[in-house]
Amino acid sequence: MPGLANRLGYSPRHLTRMLTAELGAGPLALARAHRAHTARMLLTSTDMPVSEVAFSAGFASIRQCNDTIREVFEMTPGQLRHTRRAAAPDAGAQGAIDLLLPHRTPIDAAGVFAWMAARAVPGVEEATATSFARHLRMPGGPAHLEIRQDADARLHLRVRVTGLGDLAPLVSISRRLFDLDADPAAVDEALAVHPQLVPLVAAIPGIRVPGAADPHEMLIRAMVGQQITVAAARTALTALTEQLGSAPPTAGCCSRRWRRSPSTAPRCCAGRRPASVPSPAPRRRSRMAR
């Protein structure tokens, strides 16, 4: 917790006080609850052994996982696993982990998929009217995620990871990409206060704000996309990927070209000559003049 507090610019005591006032629990309790819910999702969606579930969810030991699940859900991990629904085998799921992404309804998933499709960078991302997939480099190695909507409007996540320690962060990234932790009822209520927006809110309830894999990637996309069209920004980001991307280490689902990790993108761009970083010509000349 001291590291988190320092990164946010607060003292640990003040951070605990703020979170308790806003969310009713301190950072340690919130982290524990997050790990418990991640473990529940893995227990009810996969056949992973309880030991792997515990460490993938971020627990330090199997005993800690068992005790937390009993306290939060009043059930043992085995009892929790028995509550899951039987799923038909999927031939395309070999080596993948399939999860269900719970969220509040309504949700304008079609709007998010359309937004992603218009901005998908070839070789990194792929989007359709009901799915979105992309490659990532995580601390444990290369990873791949796919979010798709089924006929019942549920969102499913399929991930392939090099290390199971990257599973929980990938789930968080997926939820951030589709703004799944938003409260759509509260958002629609706040927007409907403005008379001009009432018909728009009624026409598209549950609108979400698409996110990015991490803040660094969002920064690069915003910088490249200034003063140009979405199509032009996509072309520029594709060129940037070709310059800074690296070949995939394996074939199969990850056979397309990889981009570098979002966390290294700013450093890669910082080491390039201004003319090699895609941006409007006047802005490039301005940077070179400095």
180 pLDDT band (50/70/90 cuts)? very high
13 and 105 belong to one structural domain = no
251 pLDDT band (50/70/90 cuts)? very low
159 pLDDT band (50/70/90 cuts)? very high
Among residues 81, 113, 147, the one where a domain terminates is 81
- 207 three-class SS: coil
Measured CA to CA, the distance from residue 287 to residue 290 in angstroms comes to: 5
pLDDT value of position 86: 54
64 and 139 belong to one structural domain = no
The structure's pTM equals 0.76
47 and 187 belong to one structural domain = no
Q: Report if residue 286 sits inside a domain.
A: no
Q: Is it the case that residue 280 has pLDDT exceeding 70?
A: no
Cα 60 to Cα 11, 25, 72: the distances in Å are 25, 21, 17
C-beta separation of 217 from 265 below 8 A? yes
Query: What is the span of the domain harbouring residue 37?
Result: 2-81
Q: Domain with 70 in it: what CATH number?
A: 1.10.10.60
62 and 185 belong to one structural domain = no
Q: Tell me how many domains the chain contains.
A: 2
| 127-157: pLDDT as tens digits | 999 999 999 988 888 899 999 999 999 999 9
Measured CA to CA, the distance from residue 197 to residue 211 in angstroms comes to: 23
